Chain A
């Protein structure tokens, strides 16, 4: 009896692995180098945390251990992203992909490797509105909400704080362009004035000409829609040094401790939005991450956990670890009806599914996919105070 229990518990994986089932690989396609490299570490670790939880509960589909294979998109280089996705799909034979992070990388990876090979991608961080309209055979999902909404959330936050004239600079890629369009039109429709909206290229050492032109137009503050380890940081540093702007606002790509450390006191009072909420699931995730020794200091970690959890539950749902039927299974486990599943309950969810029950994975971010595979999303308003980003309010 005792022997039996032990075997049923943690060690069952070892026994089963030897007999019936092999392990299954899932890809982690992320920007390990490049302008969001400091965020990527935590995002990847969060996805890994979900799979560890699943493996500790005995794996999926009769004891398959999930093995996370990483690949680097570099975030800004579409051809590098496509090559990395190609490697995951065709060489590592992954069952599904968590990623990519940067929107341009996600689009490139989806079009070149995932869609042609019928592999599901769940991006925890791509927020460009362009992904909604991707012709993807329902293969591309995301747990981060579209910037079409973040733009209007950010605009209303600024209006409420009494800001009426802003200058905007955005990174010249899918993320920046989509975000800028959404923000500028929302801010104007609320009666605000945009004194200048200018794209910039990532990776340059000097943005002073761009900043000076924006400053020439006036504006109470500078809205920087870029990445915190790339042009976003450089632009803010040089704007402060030149005395052109002293107040800054950002989007989800700018939230992280690394930029606060790099800029210092000049960043105090910076406001930024990022996907997130104060739901039960979110606080459970934060607590779990803390116990696992994971620092929650940037955006998209809860989204990554959810993306990974969905892939594991979907495999369990369809009863095999192949690529076939993955997209439909993801929808089945993510959307109602079924028993609500929060972070930390993956073992329970696997058991329910194994017994023929239905689950509705809510997770840390309240996952529910619409037709396009987008979540509804709520946002956190963050502000730099006392040398770190603190949460100010939740916008639904």
Chain B
């Protein structure tokens, strides 16, 4: 392995061992979920007010909506802490592994050999915190490395793209 290869190896970024997310990702999740909670709460209050004002609709519809909205709001409130605690990812020369989940825990292993396309995405909230998601597309679906530091996400995408190009060249 020459010097240039060593610099772009996932090992140099400590990616060959399972890593936790940057703690700042929790803030991004809290902000994102806070918006979702605000929207849900507005709809919930809207239902309450609407049913009180509309005399021809039964008020028990509000009690029917409660078991849907309250657990959902609670889930969004506790999600970031649990998600952050359980999220682990690693990447080496031939595979990407992600361990994640809040209620359902999952372990995803994507062989680099199967990756067709790599995409880095960052919405306004992620941009604010200097984070990005890396989505890898295979013929059987997609997998995401979420809330990575911006420069790490770029490195992962670049590294995977290089590997795909090398693989395709070797096949020609």
Say whether A associates with B: no
